[in-house]
């Protein structure tokens, strides 16, 4: 009996140590098993997105800046309408977080396993409205693991077939998971990056905001945007 108790006690200690080690591993880096799945999906999505880029042929107007912006907005709206859930729609780069991944259309559970996703209730870059992007913090490559490290001025670049859009982080806030006001679009272009907060829990959302700085339309002249005083 005593021997059985000693064995059981030893097994519990080993199990506890392994659990602690696993927790520390995921806390410091990410879940390695789900990461393999996302890497495989990202490889597939990269090929899918390249085909979408190659298929894009609509010219961007270059007669004036106003015409150029209207042309981009039309292409963005058309691209949003033609994009299905789970499909590759672009590439997102956030140097501060070490993110350089294919951006996916949708924020449902299955879609976010593939990579950062754009909420389908929001808009595409170039529509002069809200682009809401969510990502995991601890699993599936954990693209937004270090979202709390973002600083004011950090760059967020989103590439889509009709152009490249460069944003600068302005501020962040933490809201309850049930707060849907974050999906309310302002009347100017803004990116919201969202992840669960705190890590390992889903009671709140950590949201980083970024304003549009520069646009590089495909086949047209790049242009800068005037800074908005509040960035909101």
Ordered alpha helix ranges (H), the chain:
2-28, 32-55, 65-82, 109-112
Run means of pLDDT, 10 residues per run, the chain, 232 residues: 64 52 46 88 97 92 92 97 97 97 97 97 98 94 94 98 98 96 96 92 94 96 70 44
Ramachandran quadrant class, 115 (left: phi over 0; alpha: psi -120 to 50; beta: rest):
left
Q: Which of 138, 137, 153 is nearest to 206 (CA)?
A: 137
Q: Rounded to whole angstroms, how far apart are CA atoms 219 and 212?
A: 20
Q: What is the pLDDT of residue 175?
A: 97
Q: What is the pLDDT of residue 232?
A: 47
Ramachandran quadrant class, 231 (left: phi over 0; alpha: psi -120 to 50; beta: rest):
left
* CATH of region 31-224: 2.40.260.10
Contact 208, 195 (CB under 8 A): no
Assigned token pair, 124: 């595409």
Q: Which of 34, 154, 165 is nearest to 90 (CA)?
A: 165
Domain ranges in the chain are 1-30, 31-224
Residues sharing a CB contact under 8 Å with residue 43, sequence separation 6 or more, in sequence order: none
Q: Rounded to whole angstroms, how far apart are CA atoms 91 and 100?
A: 7
Q: Rounded to whole angstroms, how far apart are CA atoms 56 and 218?
A: 10
Q: What is the pLDDT of residue 230?
A: 40
Q: What is the pLDDT of residue 2?
A: 66
């Amino acid at each position: 009996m005593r021997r059985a108790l000693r064995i059981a006690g030893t097994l519990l200690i080993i199990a506890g140590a392994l659990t602690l080690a696993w927790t520390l591993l995921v806390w410091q880096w990410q879940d390695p098993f789900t990461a393999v799945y996302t890497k495989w999906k990202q490889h597939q999505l990269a090929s899918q997105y390249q085909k979408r880029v190659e298929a894009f042929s609509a010219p961007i107007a270059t007669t004036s800046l106003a015409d150029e912006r209207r042309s981009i907005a039309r292409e963005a709206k058309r691209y949003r309408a033609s994009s299905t859930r789970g499909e590759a729609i672009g590439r997102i780069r956030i140097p501060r977080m070490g993110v350089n991944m294919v951006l996916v259309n949708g924020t449902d559970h299955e879609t976010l396993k593939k990579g950062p996703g754009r909420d389908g209730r929001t808009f595409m870059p170039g529509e002069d409205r809200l682009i809401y992007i969510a990502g995991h913090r601890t699993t599936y490559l954990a693209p937004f693991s270090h979202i709390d490290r973002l600083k004011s001025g950090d760059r967020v670049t989103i590439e889509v077939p009709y152009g490249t859009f460069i944003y600068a982080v302005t501020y962040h806030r933490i809201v309850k998971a049930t707060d849907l006001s974050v999906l309310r679009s302002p009347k100017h272009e803004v990116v919201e990056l969202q992840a669960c907060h705190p890590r390992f829990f889903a009671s709140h959302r950590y949201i980083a905001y970024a304003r549009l700085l520069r646009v590089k339309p495909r086949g047209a002249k790049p242009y800068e945007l005037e800074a908005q005083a509040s960035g909101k």
